[in-house]
A and B are shown apart, each in its own frame.
Chain A
């Protein structure tokens, strides 16, 4: 128990690839099959940060859509939050901003370290999210990663940065 543990939540609209990113990061695998996360799935991965080890408890939340609202209660006590956006669907960018705002108001003890990931870089040709959108995100002081759960691009970096941010290094 000497290692530090941190709660990190994956949020975003449905089918943006939250679970895929977690799976890629934790198990280094990817599956094309889409499985809806119901409620929350919790995974764990230990990340080395400057000689120490940080255990990230990854709360992979069910994607939000018009039928299922994010259970913001699950965000309580989270040190970090990764907002996932599907690059090929601009609506997910708007959803991300909306979700972030809701969390900010509904969960005062919510995460302070926030990273945005624009997923599906492997389909970059079909991207609808623009550079302007990315600037909007950066304006909120969120580091923005472009990545792909399928190719693994940017995944490791995202989680390593998160590990550093939540441990304050």
Chain B
């Protein structure tokens, strides 16, 4: 059925074009001299230069990066511990706890974001980067736990048992066996957490006070207000960063999955 195969692959190709076309266009336009997308295409990095002078965007970018780093550290640490706990102990209610991981991912972020806004304001935490950190970690935790958990499941208790029979104390066993074996999974989860925070829009949007914002929030306001081609430039950068991170993650996750 080679004819069918060809059609099949062609279709897949079409789907891929659909998925990448708009982004490709946007990236192209980021390098186009014209501010209004007039063709013919004239290569110019003028908009990237303009970025360097755009205080708001730069500040927002810095915020995004700092926030993402903080999120990565906290979420990876907490999530890894949780994954270890889930793997190590059998107890009643374990499935319930595993199910509890799902709300942040499955409930529309609009609802979570507005709920956080209400709660934080009421309780006195207010809005701001610290509030956003709380929210981002909450969103990242399920992903970290799942990614690290998958890595742990592949190797299970047998390795730790073996270390014990060889005379390793629980501390030695953790340091010499569990941690190294878990490492690729933890790094992958960290990358994931960074990307989740860096790209996060909804939660950041609701928790952003006037004057403080992250990159996605800033871009959103700019779009709503009217349009500057610098948005293209910064968007291109963001997309490349996100996709790059995800490619790294995929690489690590694959090789981590090998025995």
A and B pair up: no
Chain A residues within 8 Å of B, Cβ to Cβ: none
**Residues of B participating in the A interface, judged by any CB pair closer than 8 Å:** none
